[in-house]
Structure 1
Amino acid sequence: MQVVLRRILQLIFVLVGICVVTFLLVHLVPGDPARVIAGDRANPETIEAIRKSFGLDQPLWQQFVTYAGNLLSGDIGQSMRYKRPVTALIGQYIWPTLFLTGYVICLAVPPALALAIASARKPGGLADQIIRIVGIAGMAIPVFWLGIMMSRFFGVALGWFPVSGYGKTFFEHLHHLFLPALSTAIWMVPVLIQSLRAALIEKAGADFVTAARAQGAGEREIFWRTILPNAVLPTLNLFGVIIAFLIGGTIIVETVYAVPGLGSLMINALLARDYHVVQGLTLMFAVTTVGVTFVVDLLSALIDPRARL
């Protein structure tokens, strides 16, 4: 219980800090959202009326007090561009992002697990060297460049997959999001392989493995019942961070493939100086990251008592 309370207090301080920093950074960005909304030909009276309607004419500290008070009441603001609550916009745009995140995980985890096991079975062997070299190359390729190349080749040149959109049915979602999911999974697989491979090699030399061999257990049984379960914990911690990154870091891939998700919403909000949407999305990404990390910490404490310290 003390561990849970300590984690919760840490999360609260982190979220408060993120709210303050995000508010300041958003308001320090050059440009007037009222002028963006009104247009280049708007007269000063119209621009000033828009500023007053959104409270932008108030001092910065007073705007923050209003923002913090609204947050405590569960209101994260209304979009200046769409004239809709930010929560409604997030609810509309979050589904393509969640689908894409799950798609990436389904494409990345099985090959990462298989290749990590193959690599760790004989460290330094031919298979291990090939997997590590290919993995380093996969991490070195920028996701946006890979996305553009795959879109041009498989989408434009061959016409096998759509290069934009999300589709309407489940199978259309799978078809439309295959390229963005694959380009992201190509980066994710090597990261998981490196983490799990290192953990497998470390656990293979542990004392409890030696004790299991002394008791007459077979190598296959030792690997699947002893080494692999104990090696999952370090990768679980990394996996939690990756999931949070996928939910909050899809801006690049969603922009390349014109996926109507949270990444696209964030880009449009930044271009339109839509403060409330940017702040709301940043807060949601932060809560997601902190929440996933919190759950992973709890799972780690349940799996390994040493993680409770």
Structure 2
Amino acid sequence: MLGVVVAVFLLLRLVPGDPAAMILGERATPESIAELRHRLGLDLPLWQQFADFAVQLVTRFDTGDSLVTGQPARELILATAPVSLGIVGLSVLFAILIAVPLALAAALGKDGWADHLVRILPAVGLGMPLFWIGLLLIIVFAVQLRWFPVGGVGSGPGEPLRSLILPALAVALGLAPPLIRSLRSQLLEVLDADFVTTLRAARIPERRVLGRHVLRAAALPTLTLLSVNAAYLIGGTLVVEKVFGIGGLGTLLFQSIGSRDFPVVQGVALFCAVLVVLVTTLAGVLATLLDPRLRTGGGR
């Protein structure tokens, strides 16, 4: 977390040139540039700037006021974060619903037509840009079939959730291929394990063997891979929001970059970085629930 705070603090200071001059534009006078530098605290020693930044984070949970609207960056982020978090949550759900059945079908039918098809699909999916997947979904399901809105977030009953399905599906389709490959590989390894042979010999129903034992044993490396891809998941959400015209953190970030609103850019970057840390930590907690040996170090 400390590394995240330092990195976000350095965002503004690592920008080539004078950030104050960039914000005000080419016609800015030296007086106005000096005034903005003082307002942003850029005329202070670096250690004092970092101290002020850290104190502001601890006391106000904020990176400063927007240079465009004058509102605290915290308020702007909290107003748009629920939409982005909704897409992230649905994306994880969709990725799991896509990866588990396909990986299971491939592992149970090893070297069969289903296995070959499932092994080809992730390779194709990895080569598709996320924004292109979003555009395809819009063309098929929004324009032609009219099942979902083209963009934006509706306000009617059930409309907010309905508006987030296509963006979340686009992110999930980009996230699922590595999960499918990892889970298939782990399932094949677990299916050949001795304890699975013993369970089958004891005539335990196959559905119970797969659901309670095989999937649970194979899920741990895939869960770790999902946590590693947390940055892709959150970054992909920001990009997809722009494609679908959704007013979430992605829209706020791109608008703030375009207007050189650095306090808001820093706030969004910090929020997303903290979210990545939280997702990774949650994955670690779930891993200990799936494999109790990790609590005592027995799984090392």
TM-score bin, normalised by smaller chain: 0.7 to 0.9
2:192 matched to 1:213?
no
Q: Secondary structure at the match of 1:165?
A: coil
- Which TM-score applies when normalising by structure 2? 0.86
Q: Is the 8 A contact 2:175 2:233 kept in 1?
A: no
Q: Residues 252-287 of structure 1, C-alpha deviation per residue, up to 9 Å, x if partnerless?
A: 111222211111212222233323222222222222
The residue number in structure 2 matching 1:59 is: 45
CA shift digits 1:145-164 (9 cap, x unpaired): 22234435655577664433
- Provide runs of 4+ in structure 1 moved above 6 Å: none
Give distance in 1, aligned partners of 2:86 and 2:76: 17
Going from structure 1 to structure 2, the CA distance change for 1:171 and 1:73 (only over 3 Å counts) comes to same
Q: Measure, in 2, the Cα distance between the counterparts of 1:36 and 1:156.
A: 40
Q: Write the distance in 2 (CA, Å) between the matches of 1:303 and 1:66.
A: 43
Cα distance in 2 for partners of 1:170, 1:135 equals 36
Gaps of 5+ in 1: 1-14
Contact 2:216 2:290 in 1 (8 A): no
1:185 paired to 2:185: no
Q: Over residues 132-172 of structure 1, what are the superposed CA-to-partner deviations in whole Å (9 max), with x where a residue is unaligned?
A: 11221112111122223443565557766443322223532
Deviation at 1:32, TM superposition (A): 4.4
Give the match's secondary structure for 1:73. Answer: helix
Which residue of 1 is the match for residue 105 of structure 2?
118
CA contact (8 A) 2:23 2:261 kept: no
TM-score (norm 1): 0.83
Say if 1:33 and 1:274, in contact at 8 Å, map to a contact too: no
Alignment of 1:120-159 (within 5 A): 120-152=107-139, 155=142
In 2: Cα distance, 1:244 partner to 1:125 partner: 34
Q: Which one of the candidate residues 259, 264, 269 is aligned to 1:277?
A: 264
Structure 1 partner of 2:184: 197
> Could you say if the C-alpha distance between residues 156 and 47 of structure 1 is closer, same or farther in structure 2, counting changes exceeding 3 Å?
farther
The root-mean-square deviation of aligned C-alpha atoms, in Å, is 2.6
Amino acid at match of 1:209: V
Residue pair 1:33, 1:272 contacting (<8 A) in 2 also: no
1:226 matched to 2:213? The reply is: yes
Change (3 A) 1:219 1:107: closer
Q: Do the aligned residues in 1 keep the contact of 2:77 with 2:249 (CA within 8 Å)?
A: yes
Q: State the aligned residue count.
A: 295
- The answer for the alignment partner of 1:7 in structure 2 is none
- Tell me how far apart the structure 2 counterparts of residues 68 and 44 of structure 1 sit (CA, whole Å): 29
- Alignment partner, residue 17 of structure 1: 3
Moved more, 148-157 or 252-261: 148-157
Counterpart code for 1:86: A
Q: Which runs of 5+ in 2 are unaligned?
A: none
Q: 1:22 to 1:158 in 2, by over 3 A?
A: same
1:105 aligns with 2:92: yes
CA distance in 2, matches of 1:119, 1:90: 42
- Which residue of the other structure, out of 23, 33, 37, is the alignment partner of 1:47? 33
Q: Does 1:253 align with 2:253?
A: no
1 CA distance for matches of 2:93 and 2:290? 24
